[in-house]
Amino acid sequence: MKTVGIVSEFNPFHNGHKYLIDNIKNKLDPDVIIIIMSGNFVQRGEPAIIDKWSRSKSALLNGANLIIELPIAYATQNADLFSKGSITILDKLGIDYLCFGTESKDLEPLLSVRDYIYTDNFKKNLSKYLNLGNSYPKAYDLSLQSKFSSEELLKSNNILALEYLKKLKDLKSTIIPYNIQRVGGDYKSTEIRQDFSSATAIRKAMLKDNLLSIKNSVPEESYSELIKHIKNFNNYNSLEIFYEKIKHLIILMGPKKLKKIYDVSEGLHNRIYNLIEKSEDINDLIKTISTKRYTYSKVSRILNNILLDLTVDFYKNININDLTYLNVLASDSKGFRFLKENNSFNFITKYSDYKKINETKTDKFIFEKTKKAGDIYFSGLMNKNYMNSEYLKNPYIKI
């Protein structure tokens, strides 16, 4: 069985994602395509615009065979942790290929960059730029630019691809990396294009109640899920919905407890607390807290960590290598065949499956946090029918 893995957020599922899956099928002809997908909260440090089951259904109806949830501990953090969780899981699943979209046409230049990152010269440059007060991402980019001059080489999708390539090297994995050059608007573009718009542009239009403008940018099945969501909840999810709750939590916690939130570095706890009243919305709050060292993305993830109570102690109590279960979000017959033949994890399709496993401490901490995160996610959408969704919701199945 030839297996291909994709790491994704599908936030939401759009034509670029379908393009990636279609190209994989044409070029590799796999027996099964397995997606490791973020759940209800994503790596940007915010809730996904629609829930994980709706996004996974869209993926399954557009060529994927199996969608598995990336545990929340890894789905909501920086590129290093995000890639560590996803690539470790794919490696344990024993897949043949890891496929991802890149700005670069060829993989070889990215492999050269990846190998340079392990050199003493790169590490010295990184330390130098960090000492100059740059944020880690900025220092990282500057360190690479001192060796590689191509602007395209250091764009968003390439940078994430580098993290995947690093984790494959660290794990001594036998997975073969395979890139597909992305099409359409830049990852950060906010303009809707005819067919291939960025996820950023699509979310922006959705949050401005301009759903019709994105109709040509997403597959029909995905558009149907977006319409269904707005009918059920009358709103798309965003961190802005939780602005007042986050403010309340910050005031309630105070600087001392803020220090216990994951990724809050020394001094940042005071800055967050002191600036909480100097903002009018979540975007304003993030911009107010951000500095040269603390990027917008980092601050957004920290506020999300506050909302979800993702603490330093939580991360001390989990280890990706001790994770024994995975949530199945959607599957077809090929996906179920893969699950049946694979004994690397306990695959959970309903709560009763989880109750049967011999849970580890990591399992327990992640399951409880996933359940709470789901409740928080739907509390923002003001629909009580979806509370306890982790206990009640089943995967989308296509046989």
Convert the pLDDT of each residue in 247-288 to its tens digit. Answer: 999 999 999 999 999 999 888 999 999 999 889 999 999 999
Q: Which residue is associated with the tokens 């890894």?
A: 74
pLDDT band at 308 (very low <50, low <70, confident <90, very high): very high
At residue 233, the pLDDT reads 92
Q: What whole-number distance in Å separates Cα of residue 196 and Cα of residue 278?
A: 38
CA angle 319, 264, 169 (to 5 degrees): 40
Q: What whole-number distance in Å separates Cα of residue 138 and Cα of residue 225?
A: 37
Q: What Å distances lie between residue 126 and 1, 137, 310, CA to CA?
A: 42, 10, 28
| pLDDT of 124 above 90 | yes
Count how many Cα atoms sit within 13 Å of the Cα of residue 97 in the half-sphere of its side chain. 19
Q: What Å distances lie between residue 183 and 19, 59, 193, 272, CA to CA?
A: 8, 18, 11, 38
Identify whether the C-beta of residue 139 lies closer than 8 Å to the C-beta of residue 126: yes
pLDDT band at 217 (very low <50, low <70, confident <90, very high): very high
| pLDDT of 120 above 90 | yes
At residue 150, the pLDDT reads 63
Q: Which two tokens stand for residue 82?
A: 């995000």
Q: Which residue is associated with the tokens 């984790």?
A: 167
At residue 227, the pLDDT reads 96
Q: What is the percentage of the chain residues whose pLDDT exceeds 70?
A: 98
pTM recorded for the entire structure: 0.95
| E runs forming strands in 210-362 | 325-332, 346-348
Mean pLDDT within 284-306: 95
Radius of gyration of the chain (CA): 20
